[in-house]
Chain A
Amino acid sequence: MEYLYYPGCTLVDTARNFDRCGRAAARALDVELVEMPDWTCCGTTFPLTNRKIVGLVAPVRTLVNARGEGYEELLTLCSFCYNVLKRANYAVRNRGDERMRINAYLEDEFVRAGQEYDEYEGEVEVVHLLEVLRDTVGFESVTAQVTRPLTNLKVAPYYGCLLLRPQSEIGLDDADEPTVLEDLLGALGCDVIDFPHRVECCGSYLGLSSPDIALQNSYEIVHTASRLGADVLAVVCPLCAYNLDLRQEEMHQRFSGFRQVPVMYFTELLALALEVEEEVYSWERHAVDPLPVLQTVGGI
């Protein structure tokens, strides 16, 4: 099967390992990710006030271009892209006023560029690799294709916020009791722990604007995973990885008794379990090196 793939800005920059492992692992499972040509920014945040229609331009333009590529679905990996594209699509589908205004804007833009424009009504479906693995490939099939089960690796699954909320518009899983990540990690053979902080916010962009406050918040999350004996914290979003992984050195300096925990994208664990041997891993991108624990516990 084949999907039109939207990587987004961070997956071609600081989160290249998230992207490459995702593409390679998908290929190993017979899922081809075809990168959308000339993609532009998703907008990063969904506009939350009624007057701010401009925030919808970037994501809806992306969806219109995806439609132009002739695909019914647009696949993403980054939680920000997934959330913004999916919410923008929901707004177009369900809010007539916003649909009208955004289409008027984009029509003007396309016509000026000498291109044809049909009103966009939300025809493209935004999907996340996790739901393709769950609903199309199937976790049983994933297990069947795992050649190196990650047995004995204690993994704390961490969802963050944007992958799940708002549930009424995203609908990937239950916002309070999600299971998709646990089920995938279980399918890879991991020892998945009941991680109470899995749907808390990592601190998001406060990591940049209020780094001190964000650090206290992300410390709570990592420290809890650490106390519960996690070998690895599995994440879905590059900003979560930034707040939870890159800042562990500061946590270490600031909070006594803190034990570091490697943070890994779920695609990295997937690629390892499928024994993807290509040059996709780039371990140097991790602030806390996962290799030691992978070697001792995960047998890698």
Chain B
Amino acid sequence: MAGIGIFVCDCDGELSERIDLEVLGSRLQEHPDVVDVIPHPHLCSEAGLALIEESLAGKGLGAVLVAACAYDLYDVAFRPIMEKAELGPGQTVNLDLRVSSSRDENVKARTKHSVDRALALLDRLELPSDKLELVPEEADHGVVRRALVIGGGIGGIQAALDIANSGHEVVLVERQPSIGGHMIQLSETFPSLDCSQCILTPKMAEVGRHPKVRLLTTSEVTGLEGRLGRFTAKIERKPRYVLDSCTACGDCVDACPVLVCDQFNTGLRWRKAIFQPFPQAVPSIFALDDEHCLGLFPLACGKCEQVCEPGSIDYDMQPVTEEIEVGAVVVATGYEMYSYGDVSEYGYGKYDDVINGLQFERLLSASGPTMGKVMRPSDGREPKEVVFIQCVRSRNPERGKPYCSGICCMYTAKHAMLYKHRVPDGQAFVFYMDIRAGGKGYEEFVQRAMENDGVMYLRGRVSKVFEENGRIVVWGADTLVGKRIEIAADLVVLATAIVPNDGYESVAQVTDLAADEHGFFTATHGKADPVGGSVPGIYLVGCCQGPTDIPETVAQASGAAAKVCALFAAEPKRAVPEPMLAEA
């Protein structure tokens, strides 16, 4: 039986500076299907390509892994040779050694990481003997023309719509009972101050009733086998305990005796154990929170079932796992806010009137717990002095995350501005380090906050926040004049770092996608292919690959959708540009 051949490029010494290529080679040689590991100083040179061609012919390799510098190079330089040797997309795979060596500090760790990545990719290769039988309508080039989108926030919704509107089927998987993600929690968006829900609700409705989109909420992807063009996704559909016949009348909510902290409202309100996360939810049917419902234990409660006229409650619903064939995957799993237990010097989690930016969005939102009226969580009073603190645990390698969270400068300016619109006699203060307002219309927006709305910007960090006599005292600095600043505020809003959604680990495990040390998925090539994931056929959108704002997320979603559609449209033998060759 033909085995796997591995070609390892050194990029003229650049890669062996970062990775121990000998260890990599010898570890891969131990794989039972690997017949040969062939190193070369520069595979993309004439000599390197000739070596590959010779080896393919001479050794009768059934599949090939090329470990080299970048994925896009594979397309231009190596694919023609592979195709000439009649190796299809299932028999060739590329390992980007530059990406797989970017996250660790030392050679040993980088080498181990690269070996792990290579072994995961080897398992995705199909040797000729176990080639799948293709169903006739897909046999033309072996690509299943159906996409899987993981995550139902703005990124996932946009990608699903763009793919579906091109005529392809989409399966959109969301963990929560409704799609909408974080964007549906927001009040108004910078820099236009459009209402977030007004932008998103029509898209949610469109994706919810699109004939080409199959929407699976309260569901998770638990397995993904196969390769570009033909993946088999395992999707676990968790019980919702409410049938599609639900009319969203709300009688069950009135009957339910259990109060639960409402996560959609960032803990600022209670909800019942049976609930609709928010009025515009898609699907609109209710869901039952099985962690808190009493009725799942026989005879304990059952109040919602008693009042439900259409008889839509089913306490016996069980999880169902189904397998779906897809040709490409879009990952849009988003972000979450940095955990508050770890911001002790700002009293976050200790004082009710120290909240984070997402909580402030809910306070500003017309459909939020206060109907858009700005109130202190502690006593409901209208805050007259509000301090906003930027870069909380962002740009903080020592106690948080070293990276800039990207969106906070703009949303803080927006928060301060909207606060002034709601409380005209109030004063907003912003502690900042640098104002990063690089998008279109962003700088002007921040200037407007300062000039028109009188937001006071103070250049410096805050050291400590504490409560005294019902006010939140902030000790900060103004480094421009070299003064220490003290403000007794009514409310403090922390722009805490954004981190990958906690589901990233299971997605990484299921997909084999490479992630950096913070858990953000790594693009194949930050510049040449920013939406391509490290596994061919899987694309990255939005905050799962790094902090991104809404316009950038939507642009990435459309970009990923275009990649997916191009794959679905491709002919068996693709026209490829002339190889770019390095000087031999």
**Structural contact, A174 and B468, CB atoms closer than 8 A:** no
Chain A, range 165-214, C-beta contacts under 8 Å to B: 174, 176-177, 194, 196
Quick check: B467 and A174 within 8 Å, CB to CB?
no
- Closest CB in chain A relative to B349 CB, distance in Å: 9
Q: Would A174 and B344 count as touching, CB distance under 8 A?
A: yes
Smallest CB gap from A194: residue in B: B467
Q: Mark out the residues of chain A between 202 and 240 whose CB falls within 8 Å of any chain B CB in the assembled complex.
A: 224, 228
- For A176, A224, A228, the residue with the greatest tally of chain B CB atoms inside 10 Å of its CB is A176
A196 CB to nearest B CB, Å: 4
Interface residues of B, CB < 8 Å — how many?
7
Q: What A residues does B466 contact at CB under 8 A?
A: 196
Q: Shortest CB–CB separation between residue B399 and chain A, in angstroms?
A: 10
Q: Note all chain A residues with C-beta closer than 8 A to B473.
A: 196
User: B350 contacts which chain A residues (CB < 8 A)?
Assistant: 177
Residue B345 at the A interface, CB < 8 A? yes
A177 touches B467 (CB 8 A): no
A196 touching B467, Cβ below 8 Å:
yes
- Chain B residues contacting A196 (CB-CB under 8 Å) are 466-468, 473
Measured CB to CB, the closest approach of chain A to B217, in angstroms, equals 38
CB–CB A177/B468 < 8 A: no
List of A residues within 8 angstroms of B468 by Cβ: 196, 224, 228
Among A176, A194, A224, A228, point to the contact of B344 (Cβ < 8 A). A176
Kindly list chain B residues whose C-beta atoms are within 8 Å of the C-beta of A177: 344-345, 350
Cβ contacts under 8 Å, B344 to chain A: 174, 176-177
Query: Shortest CB–CB separation between residue A106 and chain B, in angstroms?
Result: 34
Task: Find the residue from B350, B466, B473 having the highest chain A CB count within 10 A.
Answer: B466
Contact residues in B for A174 (Cβ distance below 8 Å): 344
**Alpha-carbon gap, A177 to B344, bound state (A):** 6
**A207 CB to closest chain B CB, in angstroms?**
22
Question: Chain A interface residue count: which class?
Answer: under 10
A176 to chain B: which residues have CB within 8 Å? 344-345
What is the bound-complex CA distance between A25 and B364, given in angstroms? 55
Nearest chain B residue, comparing its CB with the CB of A178 = B344
Identity of the chain B residue whose Cβ is nearest the Cβ of A224 in the assembled complex: B468
Interfacial chain B residues near A228, Cβ < 8 Å: 468
Assembly CA distance A196 to B467 (angstroms): 7
Measured between beta carbons, the chain A residues less than 8 angstroms from B467 are 194, 196
A196 vs B468: C-alpha distance in the bound complex, in angstroms?
Answer: 8
A-contact bits for B316-348, CB 8 A (1 contact / 0 none): 000000000000000000000000000011000
Mark each residue of chain B from 467 to 479: 1 if its CB lies under 8 Å from any CB of chain A, else 0. Answer: 1100001000000
B466 CB → nearest A CB, Å: 4
B288 to chain A, nearest CB (A): 37
- Taking CB atoms and an 8 Å cut-off, the chain B residues in 431-469 that contact chain A are 466-468
Which residues of chain B (341-393) have a CB below 8 Å from chain A?
A: 344-345, 350
B349 to A, closest residue via Cβ: A177
Bound-complex Cα distance A176 to B466 (A): 11
- Rounded to whole angstroms, the CA-CA distance of A174 and B345 in the bound complex is 10
Looking at the assembled complex, report how far the CB atom of A172 sits from the nearest CB atom of chain B, in whole angstroms: 15
Once the chains are docked, how many angstroms separate the CA of A224 from the CA of B469?
A: 11
| A222 CB to nearest chain B CB (Å) | 15
Chain A's nearest CB lies how many Å from the CB of B378? 14
Q: B108-130 interface mask toward A, CB cutoff 8 Å, 1 = contact, 0 = none?
A: 00000000000000000000000
Task: Give the contacts of A24-78 with B (CB-CB under 8 A).
Answer: none
Minimal beta-carbon separation of B373 from chain A (angstroms): 29
Question: How many angstroms from the CA of A177 to the CA of B466 in the assembled complex?
Answer: 11
**B484–chain A nearest beta-carbon distance, Å:** 13
Shortest CB-to-CB span from B348 to chain A, Å, is: 10
Q: Which residues of B contact A224 (CB under 8 A)?
A: 468
CA distance A177 to B467 in the complex (A): 14
**Distance of A84 Cα from B405 Cα, bound (Å):** 39
**Complex-state Cα separation, A177 to B350, whole angstroms:** 10
Minimum CB–CB distance from B463 to chain A (whole Å) comes to 10
**Cα–Cα distance between A11 and B368 once the two chains are bound (Å):** 59
| Cα(A174)–Cα(B344), bound, Å | 9
Specify the chain A residue showing the minimal Cβ separation from B343. Answer: A176
Docked pose: A47 CA to B467 CA in angstroms: 36
Q: Give complex CA distance A224, B467 in Å.
A: 12
The complex places the Cα of A135 from the Cα of B176 at a distance, in Å, of 42
Docked complex Cα distance between A176 and B473 (Å): 16
Closest to B350 in A: A177
Q: Give bound CA distance, A196 to B345, whole Å.
A: 10
- Chain A's closest residue to B468 (CB) is A196
**Chain B proximity of A239: nearest CB distance (Å):** 22
A166 to chain B minimum Cβ distance, whole angstroms, is 12
CB distance from A72 to the nearest CB of B (A): 32
- The distance in angstroms between the C-alpha atoms of A177 and B340, with both chains bound, is 13
Bound-state CA distance A194–B468 (Å) is 9
Residues of the A chain whose Cβ atoms lie less than 8 Å from the Cβ of B345: 176-177
Taking the nearest CB of chain A, how far is it from the CB of B54, in angstroms? 53
Whole-angstrom distance between the alpha carbons of A258 and B443 in the complex? 49
Q: With the chains together, A228 CA to B466 CA distance in Å?
A: 13
Q: From residue B379, how far is it (CB to closest CB) to chain A in Å?
A: 17
Least Cβ distance of B488 to chain A in Å?
12
Separation of A174 and B341 alpha carbons in the complex (Å) = 12
B465: nearest residue on chain A (CB-CB)?
Answer: A196
Looking at B345, B350, B467, the one whose CB has the most chain A CB atoms below 10 A away is B345
Chain B min CB distance to A158 (Å): 14
A176 CA / B345 CA spacing, docked (Å): 6
**CA–CA, A28 and B466, complex, Å:** 37
Q: Write out the residue numbers on chain B whose beta carbons fall within 8 Å of the beta carbon of A194.
A: 467
Q: From A200, which residue of chain B is reached at the shortest CB distance? A: B464
**Interchain CA distance A228-B467 in the complex, whole Å:** 11
Chain A residue, CB-CB nearest to B341: A177
- B282 → chain A, closest Cβ, in Å? 41
Known contacts A176-B345, A177-B345, A194-B467; 10 additional CB pairs below 8 A are A174-B344, A176-B344, A177-B344, A177-B350, A196-B466, A196-B467, A196-B468, A196-B473, A224-B468, A228-B468
12 contacts between A and B (CB under 8 A): A174-B344, A176-B344, A176-B345, A177-B345, A177-B350, A194-B467, A196-B466, A196-B467, A196-B468, A196-B473, A224-B468, A228-B468
4 shortest interchain CB distances as A-B pairs:
A196-B466, A177-B344, A176-B344, A176-B345
